[in-house]
Amino acid sequence: MSRRIWMVVTASALVATITVAGAGGALGASRILHTTHGTRSALRARGRKTACHLWAVVNSDGSLARSGCSGTTSHTSIDAGDTNYDVLFTKSVKACAFNATVGSSASSGTVPPGLVAATSDVGVVGEGDSPDGVFIEAFNSSGTPTPEGFHLSVTCGHPKSPACDTWANVKSSGKLVRSGCTGTTSTGTGGSYDVVFTTNVQSCAYQATIGTSHHTDTSPKDFVAVAGDPANGDGVFVETFNSSGVETPEYFQLSVTCGHPKSPACDTWAVVNSDASLASTGCSGASSTTAGRIGTYDVVFTKNVTDCAYTATIGSAGSSGSVAPGFVAVVGEGGNADGVYVETFNSSGVETQEGFHLTVVC
């Protein structure tokens, strides 16, 4: 694939009209932002280095819908057929894990299947790279670069042992690049990997996203799926697949969310079985039901999640090994501020019942 700087590619401005499918039709047409080196520098300078929550919801036109970090900016550009997004926070994220899911910023409607890949903004040639940035590329279900809205969550931290932040960056060879947990290991080849932390992660939600820990000009359009590690309660089993659904070695980023506080506290994550039954959650009183047709789900917590980001990964609730590849998309649940609407698709883009892991960050 041609040079694509993961998000802002060239100094020349491109304006294009795009349409994203929605409930009963198009969600709307929007315009690709006019992006230049100068604009990008101005955007970066806008935010100060302050404490903030590292998540963002970005529209298909590159505009920022909402974020947990004041001063966050986002934009997009198209170059030689690539659709790239750049999300800039106000603190360094170069030693973190990035998880992103195709989705809408709206509280209703549907989203067509698609994929996103994430990498660091450091190393974006000719664009004044930033350690504060995440670079995203989006594809439709056919693997064609296409404007897509998405939800992004960034997980950082590396406390001293025995404390353990359960996130990791893993190479396609299975080698661990870095983690928030001293003593973490990663093994595997051919698209099957075991990431083992130093704390039990069985009753948790796993988010995995294709992408390297550093900026790259390669363009993976591939699937990832997760399950518990059948051999180790501290581990997560991750599978990566090419666009044809064949297990293939790929770089990926993994974040694990645990915790189950007593009611009325609520940790907003859930693992949902393909039949819509709730396998586990960090929120006492949460529920999961079908949303009226195959492959659609309503996951409802006991607190408002409207102004939040939702990430989801196809996966198994147990430690049962292999999981089929597929797409997942997220939207706010119309009519219920406590809910998230999730759609799952098989690798051909057909709505199909699939288990998934859902994490909501606010």
Alpha helices in the chain (DSSP H): 37-45
Backbone angles phi, psi at 274, to 5 degrees: -60, -25
Q: Using CA atoms, how far apart are residues 323 and 170, in angstroms rounded to an integer?
A: 19
- What pLDDT score was predicted for residue 219? 52
Starting at the earlier edge strand, list the strands of the sheet with 192-196: 185-189, 192-196, 235-241, 223-228
Least confident of 247-251, 261-265, 275-279, 303-307: 261-265
The 10s digit of each residue's pLDDT in 20-54 is 333 333 333 332 222 333 344 444 444 444 568 99
The 10s digit of each residue's pLDDT in 68-111 is 999 999 989 766 667 889 999 999 998 999 999 999 999 988 89
- For 249, the 3-state DSSP assignment is coil
Confidence of residue 307 (pLDDT cuts 50, 70, 90): very high
Task: Decide if pLDDT at 177 tops 90.
Answer: yes
- What pLDDT score was predicted for residue 217? 53
In 93-234, the DSSP E strands lie at 97-102, 114-120, 133-140, 150-155, 165-170, 176-180, 185-189, 192-196, 205-210, 223-228
The 10s digit of each residue's pLDDT in 122-157 is 765 444 478 999 999 999 999 899 999 999 999 999
The closest of 202, 199, 193, 205 to 155, measured between CA atoms, is: 205
Task: Decide if pLDDT at 167 tops 80.
Answer: yes
- For 166, the 3-state DSSP assignment is strand
Decide: 54 and 154 in contact? Cβ < 8 Å: yes
pTM: 0.85
Task: Decide if pLDDT at 343 tops 80.
Answer: yes
Q: How big is the chain, counted in residues? A: 362
Q: Using CA atoms, how far apart are residues 295 and 273, in angstroms rounded to an integer?
A: 11
- Count of other CB atoms within 10 angstroms of residue 183: 13
